[in-house]
Amino acid sequence: MKRIFASLVVCAAANALTATSAFAADHITGAGATFPYPVYSKWAQSYNKETGAQLNYQAIGSGGGIKQITAKTVDFGASDKPLKASVLKEKGMMQFPTVMGGIVPIINVVGIKPGEMVLDGTTIANIFLGKITKWNDPEIKALNPSVNLPNKKISVVHRADGSGTTFNFTYYLADISADWKNKVGVDASVQWPVGTGGKGNQGVANYVSQLKNSIGYVEYAYALQNNLTYSKMKNKEGNIVSPTMESFQAAAAGADWKHAEGFYLILANQPGANSWPMTAATFILLHKEVEDAKATQSVLKFFDWAYTNGDAAAEELHYVPFPANVKALIHDAWKTELKTTGGKSVYMGS
């Protein structure tokens, strides 16, 4: 299967650029999170084929996406680290979620197959803290009594860039481990106690695929598309779960988006017998006030199309689409929050 690359340019075919296409002149630029890149790529290809519109999305990490939209060098920013309402107000921005997905531990240990190993939050925290250094450590063996664990040093791989995946990963570890919370904390970029850094989800995937006896963390689509070995996890209820659409949906089931100010909501370590413990939403950032509405309208057209036509493609890649009631909340936010400098609504309807 082909690897996922760090940027996406979908160009309109000559025969698609006709006067009959309402979207033909659209050229959308965005930058940010690598977490949703596989689904944005799939959506963009289908959108281009249907409308002739072009999307240029640079998967540079959530931190880079926030910086670029703040500087107004792109039409939209993308981040898996949601911004709090106070920060959105300060920056003059709004955000909305697009899909939800799962973060999975990936490993490269000879003889261990995908889903054969089980890990929990405490054990992962201790590995990334450098407290557990060998694969046959008693803490790992207790979770995997029937697995042949080697007496080999663990090579830790983490993100080197500002990353929303890292934000959600460290949020989960801090929620599980007081030691992690006190020593490392939660952010898109942290001071890692041990390990090697890779740029983007793909960079981590590449390192783990090449480094024997390594462990890292990526959005699940990257594990699938790179044929990587992932572990099962013990969730908040103490149940062992696999990374599946069903376990991601179970974690997302209790999300109260209606009362989440500015759509600020974190899904890590959700309750539920079947919930995957490292689940996250990914977000789009837009300036609330613009001089020229056209660029923002082009962005809204694309995501409106994706909400209407993109659920099947998202599910194929093991992302969880939002239900109709949440999509309605997002459309309402577009209507009320996005204005031109003259006070006119940017939203043109679906």
One domain for residues 115 and 217: yes
One domain for residues 143 and 62: no
Structural domain of 172: 102-255
* Nearest by Cα to 347 from 306, 308, 290, 307: 290
One domain for residues 93 and 226: no
One domain for residues 294 and 153: no
Q: Per-residue confidence of the chain (350 residues) as pLDDT tens digits?
A: 334 445 565 443 323 333 333 344 489 999 999 999 999 999 999 999 999 999 999 999 999 999 999 999 999 999 999 999 999 999 999 999 999 999 999 999 999 999 999 999 999 999 999 999 999 999 999 999 999 999 999 999 999 999 999 999 999 999 999 999 999 999 999 999 999 999 999 999 999 999 999 999 999 999 999 999 999 999 999 999 999 999 999 999 989 999 999 999 999 999 999 999 999 999 999 999 998 899 999 999 999 999 999 999 999 999 999 999 999 999 999 999 999 998 899 988 75
- Measured between alpha carbons, how far is 74 from 70 in angstroms, rounded to an integer? 9
One domain for residues 232 and 287: no
One domain for residues 106 and 251: yes
One domain for residues 108 and 251: yes
- Measured between alpha carbons, how far is 234 from 65 in angstroms, rounded to an integer? 32
One domain for residues 49 and 138: no
Is 306 within the bounds of a domain?
yes
- Model pTM? 0.89
Phi, psi angles (nearest 5°) of residue 310: -105, 5
One domain for residues 115 and 97: no
The CATH number assigned to the domain holding 167 equals 3.40.190.10
* Nearest by Cα to 79 from 58, 61, 106: 61
One domain for residues 138 and 153: yes
